[in-house]
């Protein structure tokens, strides 16, 4: 288990990470969210042991992350770290040897992963000759070839088409099954929504949301009602106390309400119209992100 306890990191006047705590269990996928400059990269660097926090500590299975333990971590960071003059094999050998693997294991695992990603022919090609998406796959392979206990993924899907996104997602799920703890960061909320069980939202280095995705969505008061039907009295809907917005998107009405209790009043208005759909849904993570970050900046 990864345990982050009260870490703080300052750069002069700026508090990049402010007394941050969270845990990531074995086999859990954990989302670290935040706008630009919120403190995600600083947090990752502290976890990877590349940066000392001013206070607080990070442990993996009860041990401080030092040089030895860093071989149990894999990462895909925003600053891509491929050595582009090397071939794929040389590149992977370089990283995997640092992580303590022997040449035979490296060969076997590399062949497996290149086949998995349908690029076995690139094994002896130079990294710089590969497309951006294929470089991304090599970056991913170098992060997981040693089967890490902890995997840090910062925007791992950048530049990948949907087929390759699926291949990487499936590979992440199989690592999860083997008990790997995974921290995932992305500005694309739909990835976080279908991937992460727990998450933190950072604003100015502080966690302003922390919990399971489901709890966070359920406890966020605002809901949306999706209605399809004919002869709906939109003007009457707009007058209901607690209706924040009514929007028509193609043949569907999207009604934003302040709390879920408002849904019954809205239903009273539309029930006699010719309705084919009436769905009350939680706010999307995207809406929650924008609202929560906005509140802090107000």
Exactly one of 39, 53, 148, 156 binds ligand ATP (CB under 6 A); that residue is: 39
Total residues contacting ligand ATP (rule CB under 6 A)?
Answer: 12
Exactly one of 28, 30, 40, 109 binds ligand ATP (CB under 6 A); that residue is: 40
Identity of the residue, 31 or 227, whose beta carbon is nearer to ligand ATP in the bound complex: 31
Question: Which residues, 220 to 249, sit near ligand ATP by CB under 6 A?
Answer: none
Residue 41 within binding range of ligand ATP, rule CB under 6 A = yes
Exactly one of 27, 37, 159, 242 binds ligand ATP (CB under 6 A); that residue is: 37
Binding mask 16-35 for ligand ATP (x = CB under 6 A): x-----------------x-
What minimum distance in Å lies between the beta carbon of 180 and ligand ATP? Answer: 22
Instruction: Give the closest residue to 35 by CA, choosing from 213, 298, 294.
Output: 294
Exactly one of 2, 28, 33, 42 binds ligand ATP (CB under 6 A); that residue is: 42
276's enclosing H/E stretch is strand 274-282
CB of 274 closer than 8 Å to CB of 229 = yes
Cα–Cα dist 212/151, whole Å: 19
What minimum distance in Å lies between the beta carbon of 207 and ligand ATP? Answer: 13
Query: Which SS3 state, helix, strand or coil, does residue 117 take?
Result: coil
Across-strand partners of 4? 22, 58
Identity of the residue, 36 or 102, whose beta carbon is nearer to ligand ATP in the bound complex: 36
Identity of the residue, 14 or 258, whose beta carbon is nearer to ligand ATP in the bound complex: 14
CB of 168 closer than 8 Å to CB of 160 = yes
Going by C-beta distance under 8 Å and a sequence separation of 6 or more, which residues neighbour residue 230? 273, 274
What minimum distance in Å lies between the beta carbon of 37 and ligand ATP? Answer: 4
Residue 34 backbone zone (phi > 0: left; psi -120 to 50: alpha; other: beta) = left
Going by C-beta distance under 8 Å and a sequence separation of 6 or more, which residues neighbour residue 162? none
Instruction: Give the closest residue to 28 by CA, choosing from 139, 169, 175.
Output: 175
HSE of 287, CA atoms in CB hemisphere, 13 A: 13
Binding mask 77-106 for ligand ATP (x = CB under 6 A): -x----------------------------
Q: Which parts of this chain interact with ligand ATP (CB under 6 A)?
A: 11, 14, 16, 34, 36-42, 78
């Amino acid at each position: 288990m990864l345990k982050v306890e009260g870490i703080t990191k300052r750069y002069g006047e700026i508090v990049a990470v402010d007394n941050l705590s969270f845990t990531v269990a074995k086999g859990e996928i954990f989302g670290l969210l935040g706008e630009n400059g919120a403190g995600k990269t600083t947090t990752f660097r502290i976890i990877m042991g590349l940066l000392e926090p001013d206070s607080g500590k990070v442990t993996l299975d009860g041990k401080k992350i030092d040089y030895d333990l860093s071989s149990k971590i894999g990462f895909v960071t925003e600053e891509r770290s491929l050595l582009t003059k090397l071939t794929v094999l040389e590149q992977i050998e370089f990283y995997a040897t640092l992580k303590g693997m022997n040449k035979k294991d490296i060969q076997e695992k590399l062949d497996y992963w290149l086949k998995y990603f349908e690029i076995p022919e690139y094994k002896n090609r130079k990294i710089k000759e590969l497309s951006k998406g294929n470089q991304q796959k090599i970056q991913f392979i170098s992060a997981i070839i040693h089967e890490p206990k902890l995997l840090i993924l910062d925007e791992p899907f950048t530049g990948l088409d949907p087929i390759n996104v699926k291949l990487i997602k499936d590979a992440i799920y199989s690592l999860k099954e083997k008990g790997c703890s995974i921290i995932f960061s992305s500005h694309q909320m739909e990835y976080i929504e279908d991937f992460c069980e727990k998450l933190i939202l950072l604003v100015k280095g502080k966690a302003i949301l922390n919990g399971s995705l489901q709890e966070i969505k359920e406890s966020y008061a605002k809901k949306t009602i999706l209605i399809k039907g004919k002869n709906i009295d939109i003007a009457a809907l707009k007058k209901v106390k607690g209706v924040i917005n009514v929007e028509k998107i193609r043949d569907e009405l999207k009604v934003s309400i302040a709390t879920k209790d408002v849904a019954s009043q809205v239903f009273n208005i539309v029930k006699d119209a010719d309705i084919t759909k009436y769905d009350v849904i939680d706010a999307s993570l995207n809406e929650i992100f924008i609202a929560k970050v906005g509140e802090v900046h107000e």
